[in-house]
Amino acid sequence: MDLSLLSNLTSVSVLAFVLGGIGFALRADLRIPEQAYQVISMTLLFGIGLKGGLALHKSNPADLIAPGLMTLGLGCLIPMLAFAALRLIKRLNNVDRGAIAAHYGSTSLVTFTSALVFLDASNISYESYVNALLVIMEIPGILIGILLASGIRNALGNRELLREVLLGKTVLLMLGGLIIGLVSGTLGVEKVAPLFVDLQPGILTLFLLNLGYLAMSRIGDLRTVGAGVAIFAVTFPLVAGFIGALAGTAFGMSVGGSAALAVLCASASYIAAPAAVGLALPQASTSLSLVSSLGITFPLNLTLGIPIYIAMSEALVGLV
């Protein structure tokens, strides 16, 4: 077995995810209380924005322009590709296709953070602005999926939806943290770094313990999504991840940066997207989107996907 794959499978975060699943199987409630879960998720969201802002403070903001525009394009492309691929599944209607596409166009903060922790542990460097790319991809990914399902006029005319997508907790915390880190710089951020930076791996582990329990609780719903959606949930992230790795390499990003971008393209949202989709597409099947994103794609990316996307990025060096 490849050493990077073995290292990822035996990491504390992945094993905590497995422990959460075992807890569900043994009927031991390892879920984090809802209020604590909200605190943990807010800490992760703000912390990754803060780290991105500090990194931008230390670098030339102009370095973000080209990769930022590229990421914006990928944020539009990925949900359109997902929607097109889902058209092969005849039992799905356009509303459900758009809902699933919005989940896969959006990003998974936990998968991305896990990837950065793994890159750091493996001494693989990446560009300082990669945290900012998460914020850039989040909005178009959700919005495009909803537009494909409900039409441009209906989606853009829904003020409550636009508020949730553009000013929801996920985007506001990450973007706010990004700006605060950029303005405050090293002296400002180092005062709160013990909570938002130093403790991030530990906080992530608790989050994954909870997600392991939730993912296992969705296993029984797999029969409701059908073989077509299950195959999509396994194969599409690998295709999207390769596109991200290819784009990052083509734009001159490092192996670590390209791998981080691949993870963003391959991940599927189960936090931000459900809220927005629920507002815009109340008739969509929530089980289809959540079982595929949380029950299938998330465990795949967490255990096998991250080393695969790094291997893709390494293989593309010198070929592009």
Please list the ranges in the chain whose pLDDT falls under 50. Answer: 1
Which pair of structure tokens corresponds to residue 226?
A: 């059908």
For the chain, counts of helices (H) and of strands (E): 18, 0
Q: What is the pLDDT of residue 1?
A: 45
Q: What is the pLDDT of residue 152?
A: 63
Q: What is the pLDDT of residue 255?
A: 96
Give how far Cα 154 sits from Cα of 28, 48, 222, 275, 280, Å.
44, 33, 31, 17, 9
Q: What is the pLDDT of residue 310?
A: 95
Structural domain count of the chain: 1
Q: What is the CATH number of the domain that holds 250?
A: 1.20.1530.20
The DSSP element (H or E) to which 262 belongs, if any, is helix 255-266
| Sequence letter at residue 88 | L
Q: Interior CA angle at 37 toward 104 and 26, to 5°? A: 90
Domain extent, residue 130, equals 3-316
- Cα 260 to chain centroid, rounded: 10
Euclidean distance between CA atoms 154 and 158, whole angstroms: 6
pTM reported for the whole predicted model: 0.85
Residue 264's nearest CA partner among 249, 251, 250, 245 is 245
Q: What is the pLDDT of residue 10?
A: 80
| Average of per-residue pLDDT values in the chain | 87
- Please, which contacts does 113-116 make with residues 24 or more away whose CB atoms are closer than 8 Å? 113/44, 113/48, 113/200, 113/204, 114/13, 114/14, 114/204, 114/208, 114/302, 114/306, 115/259, 115/260, 115/263, 115/306, 115/309, 116/260
